[in-house]
Amino acid sequence: MRILYASERPPYPFFLGGAARCAHRLLLSLARDHGASVAAVGSAGYDATPWAVPPAAEHAALGVLGVGGSAQAPELDCGYPVQVLPGFAEGGLADALHRFAPDVVWAQLDGAQQVLGCARAHGAATLLYVHDAEDAPAQLRATAALADHLVCSSAFLAAKVQRVLGRRPHVVHPASDWYFGTAADPHGAITMINPHAVKGLDTFLQIAARLPQQRFLLVESWLLDDAAWARLQQRLAALPNVTLSRRVADVRSIYAQTRLLLVPSVWEEGFGMVAVEAQSCGIPVIASARGGLPEAVGDGGVLIADHLDVDRWLAAMADVLRSDTSWQAASQRALMRARSAELSPRELASRMLAICEGRLREPVPTWRARLASRLGRWPALQRLAERPEAVQ
């Protein structure tokens, strides 16, 4: 089986967001554990979100084994070839399809519709992996119409997608990095990763202001440009108990100084890989009960239903941190959750391979999902058909 991951957004390790890291972990397991031939390509001209060619000093931490290609189209060996291509939409992707001759092209996020259309023109099967709930319904329908296989990162997201499409996707949870050899610091900082408004930055800063004697750590993930970094520093001037850190190649250095991870997301997360990663270090996680975060956190952490109520966060934090015994118990629950079979990268990659090979058929949509899709042009009627229901 030959699988090409293609996205206008540069793949890992050029871009280090959760969706890119999930794709990397699955591709690596597909290659190492399941014998698939895989590769990843993205656009060298992508400018919607900052990204960078990783410097040599970060290669070991990022799993980069070698560097090739050219200055215009660098190719990294990450256990499989990863390349950013100039002229991606104008012919770079088509050339990559011709060279690699994939059986399946896997697309997600930016440019997915164009990627899947190009893949079909080259005779490859197509897979769309939906990571978030941000696409407009019309855009999602147009993109999914080109996908032979449809996958979502959580049951929550699959339920939303099926109401739009009348088509019930597979669910493959993101394959998170596991850091079982890294131990949390029971006396360390209270940490948040990715300081953006949609990730709950305002809630985090309100919590820090209410707990001036506690140490907090705020860590960049999506790259911030100079102006955004300066604005954030200005906001933190009144909070001397908050340390701001640039993105690090090896996030274990962050987890090793963390005793509690907060994930106060405002938007509906597709899953929430950061929760699983932190739990694998024995870090208790407190997260918004938004989107797919409950599936990521599971019974290994605490979920805040009223996620904008700072008092709820403070009460949950006080419960975990009230004593060494309470923290140790929470740490053990986190570790047990991270070790669960349903989150094993090898098992998740096995499921993805079965989908690519056509051994798993998409579940038959329910009558309610089909009705919701057909009523999509009349929102008032659609809401009647969109009452929550379980996704198997």
Euclidean distance between CA atoms 335 and 343, whole angstroms: 12
42 lies in a domain?
A: yes
| Residues 124, 198 share a domain | no
Any domain includes 372: no
Whether residue 361 is contained in a domain is answered as no
Q: How far apart are CA 294 and CA 251, in angstroms?
A: 23
One domain, residues 246 and 329: yes
Is 165 in the same domain as 302?
no
Q: How far is CA 243 from CA 212, 227, 254, 288, 321, in A?
A: 12, 18, 12, 22, 20
Q: In this structure, what CATH number is given to the domain that contains residue 37?
A: 3.40.50.11930
Residue 29: phi and psi, rounded to 5, are -70, -40
* Residue 53 resides in a domain: yes
Pairing outcome for strands 74-77 and 81-85:
antiparallel
Q: Kindly state whether residue 87 falls inside one of the protein's structural domains.
A: yes
Q: Are residues 263 and 146 in the same domain?
A: no
Chosen domain end from 338, 360, 381: 338
Residue 117 and residue 234 in one domain: no
Q: Where is the domain boundary, 171, 205, 223?
A: 171
**CATH code: domain of residue 201:** 3.40.50.2000
Rounded CA-CA distance 306/43 in Å is 39
| Whether 203 contacts 373, CB under 8 Å | no
Sheet holding 170-171, edge to edge: 66-69, 74-77, 81-85, 37-43, 2-6, 104-107, 125-130, 149-152, 170-171
Give the domain range for residue 143.
2-171
pLDDT in tens, the chain (392 residues): 999 999 999 999 999 888 898 999 999 999 999 999 999 999 999 999 889 999 999 999 899 999 998 888 889 999 999 999 999 999 999 999 999 999 999 999 899 999 999 999 999 999 999 998 777 899 999 999 999 999 999 999 999 999 999 999 999 999 877 788 899 999 999 999 999 999 999 999 999 999 999 999 999 988 899 999 999 999 999 999 999 999 898 899 999 999 999 999 999 999 999 999 999 999 999 999 999 999 999 999 999 999 999 999 999 999 999 999 999 999 999 999 999 888 988 999 999 999 999 987 766 555 454 454 444 444 444 444 434 333 32
Q: How far apart are CA 207 and CA 216, in angstroms?
A: 10
Tell me whether strands 216-219 and 189-193 are parallel, antiparallel or unpaired: parallel
How many other C-beta atoms can be found within 10 angstroms of the C-beta atom of residue 196?
Answer: 16
The answer to the question of residue 237 being in a domain is yes
Question: In degrees rounded to 5, what are phi and psi of residue 329?
Answer: -65, -40
Instruction: Measure the CA–CA gap between 152 and 49, rounded to whole angstroms.
Output: 23
Which tokens hold the place of 350? 């096995």
Contact 20, 54 (CB under 8 A): no
Give me the number of domains the chain comprises: 2
Same domain for 209 and 129: no
